[in-house]
Each structure stands twice: as structure tokens, then as C-alpha cells.
Amino acid sequence: MTELVHLDIAAGLATITLDSPDNRNALSAQLRRELRGHLATAIADDTVRVIVLTHTGSVFCSGMDLKEARGAEAGDQGVT
């Protein structure tokens, strides 16, 4: 499975990049899971002073991945 979110830490700066431009960085379950994991890693790192969220492609994030949701309740999608 291809990683959709990347983390780079250097000189006190954590850069988290959303990298799913084919679906406009929509918040799929995989992307949300990876984003939460990288945020937790950055927050737990005592050397990190700043966290920057960025993206690949022309859109930062188009919102929820509606193709994946297909009528599921918010709690089933990991959104509460």
C-alpha cells in the first residue's frame, strides 16, 4: 500500500505532506490514519517546535472521501 502522508523532521520543523493528488487529497480512512499517526509522532518529538501541513497537487484537501463513505455514519468513518 502506498503511503499517502509523509513526515519529514529537520531542525525543529516537522513537515507533514498530504500526497494523494489523484483524489484531491480527500480524507480517506487511510489518509486520516496516516495523518493522525504522523501528527502523534511529531507532537511526541521533543525537538519539534513547529508543525507545517502541506500538500502535493493543486488542492490542499477536498474534504471527506465521499466515494469511500457511501452512506456510512460519521462514527463508522472515524469522524466524531
Q: Which three cell numbers stand for residue 66?
A: 465521499
In DSSP terms, 10 is beta-bridged to: 13
Half-sphere exposure of 49 toward its Cβ, with a 13 Å CA cutoff? 3
Residue 40: which H helix or E strand, with range? helix 29-44
In DSSP terms, 6 is beta-bridged to: 17
Pairwise CA distance, residues 27 & 19, whole Å: 11
The phi, psi pair for 59, rounded to 5°, reads -125, 130
pLDDT in tens, 11-46: 999 999 999 999 999 999 999 999 999 999 999 999
| Domain 5-71, architecture per CATH | 2-Layer Sandwich (3.30)
> How much is the pLDDT for 73?
63
Provide the residue ranges of all domains of the chain, joining segments of one domain with +. Answer: 5-71
